[in-house]
Amino acid sequence: MAWRVAVSLETLLHQIDNRFPGRSTAFDGSIGDAAHQARGSESDHNPWFGPGIVTARDFTHDPAHGVDIQQIADELLDSRDPRIKYVIANRRIATDRAWQWGPYDGANPHDKHVHLSVVADQLCDDPGEWALPLLNGGGGGGGGGAEDGTVEFVTWGQGVNIRQAPSLGAPVVTVLQGPTRVRVGCQTVGDTVTTAGHTNDAWSFVPALGGYISNIFIDHPAAWLPDVGQC
């Protein structure tokens, strides 16, 4: 059966990969393959929702490269992100809406990876970035520039395509269903886009989404965004 991973989990993967480029991925995973089944039953790794959508991902513990699964797990709980179904790390599980740790006695202690399941509804495909301090330079967030050089904006419009390249013919990597908070890394000149009476040939790269969005869909009056460098 054809399958894919929920978009929200791909966003988190991009964010973690961008923040910690040298990290180990030894215990990363999404689909319920043999390796995952060997770690114990984790049904959300199977593409049961949709069906065809995997609603769980594992991220490897690699503190030497900055990835501390307990910190990620705690920050996920602190975020109160409504996309979270449950989190498992270091023999503890936190289910949705309780936001508290309880004992986890599954076969795998989850001390080498953190497991995140997202909800089995359309929210799982919400591509918005995850608001974890660890992934945003440890700063307080709240807009403006960050240590990684990205600048926060909000998009407008529905069904906005994020593409692999700043071109209307480039493959779509994800679709923004509605206004979404994004962090722009750089901008460049690409295909001209005209909509709602505006024309613009500037595109912004959003590292967390792994693709480009036409600046016409960035909610800012300037065609070329301020404080954002050229790619």
Binding-site size for Zn ion (CB under 5 A) equals 3
Residue 126 in the binding site for Zn ion (CB under 5 A): no
Q: Which is nearer to Zn ion, 7 or 114 (CB)?
A: 114
- CA distances to 43, 104, 113, 177, 179 from 128, in Å: 25, 29, 23, 10, 9
Residues within window 12-41 making contact with Zn ion, judged by CB under 5 A: none
| DSSP code of residue 62 | B
Q: In this structure, what are the phi and psi dihedrals at residue 209, rounded to the nearest 5 degrees? A: -100, -10
Q: Which of 10, 58, 81, 126 binds Zn ion (CB under 5 A)?
A: 58
Residues within window 37-56 making contact with Zn ion, judged by CB under 5 A: 42
Q: Give 44: exposed, middle or buried? Use CB within 10 Å, 0-12, 13-18, 19+.
A: buried
Residue 108 in the binding site for Zn ion (CB under 5 A): no
CB of 17 to Zn ion, least distance (A): 18
CB of 129 to Zn ion, least distance (A): 22
CB of 186 to Zn ion, least distance (A): 34
Q: Is 9 helix (H, G, I), strand (E, B) or coil?
A: helix
Q: In this structure, what are the phi and psi dihedrals at residue 58, rounded to the nearest 5 degrees? A: -110, 145
Q: Which is nearer to Zn ion, 49 or 224 (CB)?
A: 49
CB of 4 to Zn ion, least distance (A): 17
CB of 56 to Zn ion, least distance (A): 5
Which segments within the chain are labelled E, that is strand?
4-5, 53-54, 56-60, 84-89, 92-95, 102-103, 113-118, 151-154, 160-163, 172-176, 181-184, 186-195, 198-206, 211-214
Residue 115 in the binding site for Zn ion (CB under 5 A): yes
Q: Which positions lie near Zn ion, rule CB under 5 A?
A: 42, 58, 115
